[in-house]
Amino acid sequence: MKGKFPQDFMWGGATAANQVEGAYDQDGKGLSIVDAIPGGKDRLNIVSSPEFDFTLDPAKYTYPNHKGIDHYHRFREDIALFAEMGFRCYRFSIAWTRIYPNGIEQEPNDAGLQHYEQVIDACIAHGIEPVITISHYEMPLHLATAFGGWKNRELIGHFERFARTVLTRFGHKVKYWMTFNEINSAAHFPIMSQGLTVKTGALEAQAKFQAWHNQFVASSLAVKIAHETHPQIQMGCMILFATHYAYDCNPVNQLETLKETQAFNFYCADVQAGGKYPYYAKRLWQSQGVELDIQPGDLALIKEHTVDYIGFSYYMSSTINKTSPDAVSAQGNLLGGARNPFLEASDWGWEIDPVGLRIALNQLYDRYEKPLFIVENGLGAVDKPDENHFIADDYRINYLRRHIEAMAEAIEDGVELMGYTPWGCIDLVSMSTGEMSKRYGLIYVDLDDKISGTGNRYRKKSFHWYQKVIETNGADIS
């Protein structure tokens, strides 16, 4: 592995405000959509039911995101641990509702701005480059309930005001930004990225594609603001990438895999990085009865203000099957599909495929020739601490090692890779289940699924392993 990673490679870790901060009602913060979504294994099933409406009923549900891991109050302690690991960067998000509690205010909440100023300064003090996601699955609840989420074009102006506020305030200190987290994930769970419930269009292609268009316009405005206010800013998009395989060599499955790859992996990046809707978009819209409301100036804005790099998450691949009814379903795989017999799976059924990451890196770089940044990758598992709170998580080390090896091979292939921030560098509340027991972190947090416990932090075996990886710039991953 020696010498395969650039000297300025950004090793680090990633979290999201709504999954770590807690303090959901403190210092002027408003309610976000995640504050009104219950936790538990059936979280995504609950929110995708026709009956679901945003609710705050503590007698019926628990809301783990309300408390998170108290990163809001303990960020200095956590960032010090990241620095001990050797982090060169820390990817986190700014909670929209800390800056504009309902999304519609004309003046920002100064307490929220002061908080993130302190987080940024703590990173810089430790020599850690902040990498900020502007919107990460936590849009203001009011924008979802009163406006119907991102399908409503009025959200563009509210997001533009939010983006301008944080970019103007922090752009001189923070070089690397991203607009929307996993923007393409709305194909499978639009409540998180678009604020859509079944009642407001979560199952309707028209609502989702219109929401995407409005987000594309908003994202382009953020890029424009960033480059105008602080030219040194590098603004990225962020997609969820899952390498797609055909179940067999049946041409029907091969064609379906091509179409799924275009629609899921490339559609959003084609617009944000390529600056225009791709050639296959019209037929994709026609096949689903979509007619976009595109206003004058939208396409010119999208063309002129493309992102500087592509951030993406990679957890699993997906196997596409349209012809074989006897194929085993990939139960638990976040994106569905057929079970791939050549792959192992995590405790939650997510298939583990490091070779798929090398393929993803090559496909993305071949298509866009823009720098790539792996801003999420990791293994959700049940960790069992011993009497000294130590966790020998060799399974996580093995997962990360294999994916780092795939990254090194992709760099050798000629891919320009900026950095790597494994997801949940510290244990946090899972997005898909709202649980603490689904742990990703290199740091153990003593909390259960009801967020009961000491909250104390403990270094896992993977903490010390990743420390060595960073210290040797990826040369030693043994």
- Distance (Å, whole) CA 273 – CA 276: 8
Q: Cβ of 317: how many Cβ atoms within 10 Å?
A: 26
Contact 439, 429 (CB under 8 A): no
Non-local CB neighbours of 228 within 8 Å, separated by 6+ positions: none
Per DSSP, the three-state class of 99 is: helix
Among 287, 276, 261, which Cα is nearest to 213's? 276
The upper half-sphere exposure of residue 116, i.e. CA atoms within 13 Å in the direction of its Cβ, equals 30
Contacts of 452 (CB under 8 A, 6+ apart): none
Per DSSP bridges, beta strands 244-246 and 318-320 are: parallel
**CA-wise closest residue to 111 among 128, 97, 122, 123:** 97
What is the DSSP track for 287-345? HTT------TTHHHHHHHS--SEEEEE----EEE-SS-TTSPB-TT-TT--B--TT-EE
CB 310 within 8 A of CB 239: yes
Can you tell me whether residue 351 is helix, strand or coil?
strand
DSSP state of 262: I
User: What CA–CA distance (Å, rounded) separates 14 from 11?
Assistant: 10
Distance (Å, whole) CA 254 – CA 248: 8
What's the angle, vertex CA 316, arms to CA 311 and CA 320, rounded to 5?
115
Query: Which of 455, 451, 422, 457 lies closest to 434 in space, CA to CA?
Result: 451
Alpha-carbon distance 248 to 231, whole Å? 48
Q: Considering 260, 376, 405, 435, which one is annotated as catalytic?
A: 376
Is 376 considered catalytic here?
Answer: yes
Q: Which residue do the tokens 């099933």 mark? A: 45
By DSSP bridging, strand 10-14 and strand 89-93 are: parallel
CA dist 437 and 459 (Å) reads 17
Catalytic residue positions, numbered:
376
